[in-house]
Chain A
Amino acid sequence: MVRTIYLIAAIAMLLLPAIVLAQSDTAIVQTPAAIAAPDPPAPPTNVVVADNPNDNGHSLRVQWTPSADDSTGRAIVMGYRIYRATSPDAPDSLWVERGSVARGTHAYVDRGSRDPASAAFIPKATDLYYRVDAVSADAAGRSAVAVGQAHDNWFNTKRVIVLIFVIIFVLLTIAFINAAKSGRTLYVRPLAGIDAVDEAIGRATEMGRPILYVLGLGTASDIATIASFSVLGRVAKKVAEYQTPILVPCYDPIVLTVAEETVKTGYSDAGRPDDFKPDSVYFVTQSQFAYVAAVNGTMLRERPATNVYLGKFYAESLLLAETGAVAGSIQIAGTDEIAQLPFFVVACDYTLIGEELYAASVYLNREPILMGTLKAQDWAKGVVILTILIGLAIRAASSKEFMAILFQVES
């Protein structure tokens, strides 16, 4: 009995692999017949290729109506692929994929290079052919081919508002300059930081210590640096009159040359051109923290009575201002870098916030023409505030939920 059982088991063990193999063979043979041919999604329709507006003439905008199987119908579309060729009859191998977008999208901007040697080059005024494929998991529905050309654009229509505002501002400036020239008195509110400049120079003279003037890390093309040059000229004239030394360490070589000329001019205007010392305006380095180390070293060795920081400042602002505070100097700062303003406010005695830096030269010179530009700035700010208020009122009147949205706070 036992022998019979062993015999059956042995036969079963021998037959089992054969049965499994037979079944798997059957499955392989059956696979092609069992799987249906992939059914592509409906293709996108109404493909239109047009010049992309407001560009240099090397990009095209492709638009289409999404596939009927995008989010409706069978909803099998996963995205769209955009292909380009130089001929509508080009074989598949010459259709180059230019990009892909997610489902639900109906436009794509083919941004090309203007360099003919680049693979992404898009020539101007040349017919280019596009097709859009709606792609599902296993198939693609091809659209009809559309043609378009890229062209140069002569005006950026997105900047119309900027142009209008610049024109208004220029007209305001001209009007106020004329008013100032005609002898009308223009009132401008006093700035404590600027009023403190003369006082700080006087203090330095009394103490017999130099004034340190830092133009920041900006280049000569930064408006903040240009504004700072104006104040430097005024400070240089004052220090020349009081015969107080001035130190101007520079970060940028071009700034160095301009600063040198500005300080020389200040000394000349004060009638003391021979008192100007070439070593008082000097180049340090173009490495941010090496510059900080050098200026901090100067503060601690020379112990200037006053430190003036006007221009572009970045992470070094607090390193400079704190060292100056430790050295016991009066500190006047001003920058248009919003992120650095809190550091200057905390560590300095006076801070010119944003636009006050640009207004500083006007306050110091009090020339009618410059006063006119300052007044125009104030009026332009009024125009901006009025525009914002009118916009808010229109939105509030046109939307019931607007007031709720206005006071909504995202958590």
Chain B
Amino acid sequence: MKRQLPLLVVFLAGVFMVIQYFVPAEFSEKAYEFLIDWTIIIGIFALALGIWSLIRVSYHKIKTKQEGYFYSYVALAGLFGMILFGFTFMGGLESYMFTHFFDHIMIPIQSTMFSLLAFFIASAAYRAFRARSVLSSVLLIAAFILMARVIPMGPLSDAVTVVSNWILLVPNLAAKRAIWIGVGLGIVATALKVVLGIERSYLGRD
């Protein structure tokens, strides 16, 4: 029963979602929105579990003085600090401390992480574009042509544009569409396995 009940819920919800996709009527739309609201509600409750997990792991790292345990202090201070400053009696979400921590610490750190991507792309491109085989040489040439498209090339500009457009719109797009079709079929197959109860690894232990 413990295993059959979740499978039944998954089956009914899955079948409903399939039918809902083909029925545009208002009742179907409202039922869909109702179920989506439930996922949001479940997500909020699950967030409490997530916070508990974070606290537990950080505490354990501090207690056992694992490598870099100092960062766990920072994580916990940030977590509790922001919760505290977010309370109404401390000024709420518009308070000086809350907005300043968010705008002047959180956002700059996130921007820094994102900007690292530029350097990582350069190092990854260096590895990818080493012409060690025929295929990697083709990749290198294609990449060079595509990069040349955004550089003023004088009389060669038109030719480079035509060739790079062909690369993007013919072989590249064909490969992308092939992957999309495969992904679409894979999604349907996996969804079918879940709805029919063939795939049940997400249920955990009996």
Given A226-B202, A262-B201, A346-B125, does the pair A293, B189 have CB atoms closer than 8 Å? Answer: no
Number of residues of chain A lying within 8 A (CB) of chain B: 90
Nearest to A353 among chain B residues (CB) is B179
Size class of the B contact interface (CB-based, 8 Å): 35 or more
B180 beta carbon closer than 8 Å to chain A: yes
Q: Within the complex, what minimum Cβ distance (angstroms) separates B124 from chain A?
A: 5
Closest chain B CB from A215 CB (angstroms): 12
Q: Is the CB of A297 within 8 A of B68?
A: yes
Q: Could you say which residues of chain B place their CB within 8 Å of the CB of A152?
A: 25-27
Taking the closest CB of chain B, its distance from the CB of A178, in whole angstroms, is 13
B117 touches A373 (CB 8 A): no
Contact A370 B193 (CB under 8 A): yes
Residues of B within 8 A of A256 (CB): 46, 49-50, 53
The residues of B that contact A315 with a CB separation of less than 8 Å are 114, 117
Contact indicator B189/A265 (Cβ below 8 Å): no
CB proximity of B112 to chain A, nearest CB, Å: 8
Asked if B181 CB lies within 8 Å of chain A CBs, one says: yes
Least CB distance from A395 to B in Å reads 17
| A325 neighbours in B (Cβ, 8 Å) | 127
B66 to chain A, nearest CB (A): 9
CB of A289 within 8 A of CB of B114, answer yes
| Distance in Å: Cβ of A236 to nearest Cβ of chain B | 10
- Chain A 264-297 near chain B by CB (<8 Å), digits 1 or 0: 1100100000000011011111111110110001
A410 partner, pick from B53, B116, B165, B193, beta carbons under 8 A: B165
Q: How far is the CA of A403 from the CA of B166 in the complex (A)?
A: 16
Q: Is A45 an interface residue (CB 8 A)?
A: no
Q: Which of A252, A254, A318 is in CB contact (< 8 Å) with B124?
A: A318
B5 in contact (CB, < 8 A): no
- A322 interface residue (CB < 8 Å to B): yes
B46 pairs with A254, CB closer than 8 A: yes
Is the beta-carbon distance between B120 and A301 smaller than 8 angstroms? no
Chain A nearest Cβ from B108, distance in angstroms = 11
Contacts A154-B25, A341-B179, A410-B169 given; indicate if A369 touches B201 (C-beta within 8 A).
Answer: no
Are B185 and A265 in touch, CB under 8 angstroms? no
Complex CA gap A56/B30 in Å reads 10
Q: Mark B28-59, 1 if CB is under 8 A from A, else 0.
A: 01000000000100110011111101101100
CB contact under 8 A between A301 and B68, given known A226-B194, A409-B162, A410-B165: yes
Query: A227 to B183, alpha carbons, bound, how many Å?
Result: 12
Q: Please, which residues of chain A bring their CB within 8 A of the CB of B47?
A: 253, 286
B186 & A355 in contact (Cβ 8 Å cutoff):
yes
Question: A64 to B158, alpha carbons, bound, how many Å?
Answer: 45
B49→A257 contact, CB < 8 A:
yes
Q: Which residue of A lies closest to B200 (CB)?
A: A230
* Cβ proximity bits B180-206 to A, threshold 8 Å, 1 near / 0 not: 111101111111111000110111110
> Which of B21, B180, B204 is most buried by chain A, counting CB atoms within 10 A of its CB?
B204
Docked CA distance A152–B29 (Å): 11
**A169–B185 touching, CB < 8 Å:** yes
Question: What residues of A have a CB within 8 angstroms of the CB of B189 in the complex?
Answer: 169, 173, 358, 373-374, 376-377
Q: How far is the CA of A346 from the CA of B121 in the complex (A)?
A: 10
Q: Does B4 contact A (CB under 8 A)?
A: no
B24 touches A346 (CB 8 A): no
Residues of A close to B182: CB separation below 8 A:
354-355, 377, 381
Say yes or no for B151: interface residue by CB 8 A criterion: no
Inter-chain contact A355/B185, CB cutoff 8 Å = yes
Among A223, A319, A341, A345, contact of B113 (Cβ-Cβ < 8 Å): A319
Given contacts A346-B127, A377-B186, contact A278 B56 (CB under 8 A): yes
* Chain A nearest Cβ from B115, distance in angstroms: 10
* Interchain CB contact under 8 A, B183 and A336: yes
Of chain B, the residue at the smallest CB distance from A124 is B26
Q: Please, which residues of chain A bring their CB within 8 A of the CB of B54?
A: 282-285
> By the criterion CB–CB under 8 Å, are B179 and A338 in contact?
yes
B201 touching A411, Cβ below 8 Å: no
B128 within 8 A of A: yes
Between A and B, 13 residue pairs with Cβ closer than 8 Å are: A56-B25, A56-B29, A153-B25, A279-B60, A283-B54, A285-B54, A318-B124, A319-B120, A345-B128, A358-B189, A361-B201, A410-B165, A411-B161
The interface of chain B, by Cβ under 8 A from chain A, is 18, 21-27, 29, 39, 42-43, 46-51, 53-54, 56-57, 60, 67-68, 71, 106, 109-110, 113-114, 116-117, 120-121, 123-125, 127-128, 158, 161-162, 165-166, 169-170, 176, 179-183, 185-194, 198-199, 201-205
